[in-house]
Amino acid sequence: MTDIVQRLEDELGAQEPSVVETLNLDNCRSGGTLEGLTDDYVKLRNLSLNGIDLRTLTSFPSLPSLTKLELADNRIAGGLERLAGCPALRVLNLSNNKIKNLAVLEPLKKLENLVTLALDENDITEEEDYQKSVFDMLPQLQYVDDVDREGNKRPSDDEDDEDEDDDDDDDENEYEDEDDEDDDVEGIVQNEDDDDDDDDDDDD
């Protein structure tokens, strides 16, 4: 199993941390703590840390652009207040950890943009109506374990839409720029046509 610091170096290659937008560090050897990941990853949007035997979030960095965080299959029992440095977070996967009660999730109240939370295979899910309790405490959520507050199963295409939202915004801006360029070209062509008409009139 690759050490997480070594994996980070491999993933980075020649890039600077400040330009990286996606990191997949699944199944690395962490030793229980998160090492190597720093506040320098200011543009990081998607981070996957599944199955790295993570036991604490004590050294979790501030990642202002992070929208999706995968922490499944670890040993996290608390310390979620460290995620306050990720205000843009929308999707959080905590499946198969050591979360035993609702109080552990209370720090997530500060994450106003959080809409999707996965908790399956944690002890908390054995409590009766745990999903309702989570929704009551975290009203910003739309889905807990792929179920909304009315008990409806999440449509499969919703998750894809979340991942594509930011990309769509970028595409729209690109198309708008192209439309502006087309308008400019049309204007130039029209002006040239008008000039030709004026020349014909002068010749007459």
Question: Which is nearest to 93 in space by CA: 56, 50, 31, 151?
Answer: 50
Neighbours of 1 (CB within 10 A): 11
Least confident range of 55-69, 108-122, 188-202: 188-202
Q: What is the pLDDT of residues 65-108, one digit of tens each?
A: 999 999 999 999 999 999 999 999 999 999 999 999 999 999 99
Read off the pTM. Answer: 0.79
Lowest mean pLDDT among 7-16, 18-27, 60-69, 182-191: 182-191
| Model pLDDT, residue 146 | 97
Q: What does 20-66 look like in DSSP terms, one character per residue?
A: --EEE-TT-B-TTS--S--TT-TT--EEE-TTS-----TTPPP-TT-
pLDDT tier at 190 (50, 70, 90 boundaries)? low
Return d(Cα 132, Cα 151) in angstroms, integer.
Answer: 9
